[in-house]
Amino acid sequence: MSTIPHYHSILLVEDDQRLSALIAEYLEKQGLDVAVEYRGDQAVQRIIEQQPDLVILDLMLPGLDGLEVCRQVRPLYQSPILMLTARDEDVDQVVGLELGADDYVIKPVQPRLLLARVRALLRRAAGTANVPQEKSKVGYSAIMDFERLQIHPAAREVTLDQDSVSLTTQEYDLLLLLANNAGVVLSRDAISEATAGIEYDGLDRSIDIRISRLRKLLEQDSGNPSGIKTVRGQGYLFVAQGWSHD
């Protein structure tokens, strides 16, 4: 597989100097331009001013933790944020994704996995930037109307009961994929390949977390969802009639 062109800029925010040096060296060998920041409070200004193509953001940082950095920069920074965390706990992953992180990798970092996630996020960001109107996996539609729920691909907007719903890039992409395949059960493998361009490793919880987040935002009863159903042992199913007014 060819490397990503060198002009893709990465800001690595990691206070472990040995780890940051190893990550930076590995990514630079793959053709990426990597700068390193060790403090969370200083990272905020650098991210907003420099607008790197992608930020790799550690969770535990001096000055400001990674979650707070993500919260502060997200309104002014639209490129991908990949979080690093040593905590294998759902709560950290959920909060990070809800604050606008696009993905996460759990320490100890496996360089090849990290590179795969970085490449996938850069591809997705490039695709979003280069395509003025959304072209779905199975077709194109100006407005996808499911009664209470409407998806506007050209504007990348979602409304529920005519109110705008704020979604992260990854949440929107997942919802659009499910909606374009209404009535079809999509496995985690298929979702991971379609939304991130990588194979599902069997351990990643980001898809499940985003599904949970979508249900909280869109379903009348997230504990008993009618629009995005889990098909045990198979995957997730978008039910077009699940968003009716009845």
Mean pLDDT of 99-105: 83
Lowest mean pLDDT among 154-158, 203-207, 223-227: 203-207
What's the order of all strands across the beta sheet hosting 163-165?
144-146, 149-152, 157-160, 163-165
CATH 3.40.50.2300: which residues of the chain? 9-130
CATH class of domain segment(s) 9-130: alpha beta
Terminal C-alpha separation, the chain: 50
- Rg (alpha carbons) of the chain, rounded to whole number: 18
Q: What is the pTM assigned to this prediction? A: 0.63
d(CA 193, CA 203): 15
Question: Quick one: average pLDDT of 41-45?
Answer: 96
Please state, rounded to an integer, the average pLDDT across all residues of the chain: 84
CATH topology of domain 144-243: Arc Repressor Mutant, subunit A (1.10.10)
- Which regions of the chain carry the CATH code 1.10.10.10? 144-243
DSSP alpha helix (H) spans, 51-185: 66-73, 90-98, 111-130, 169-180
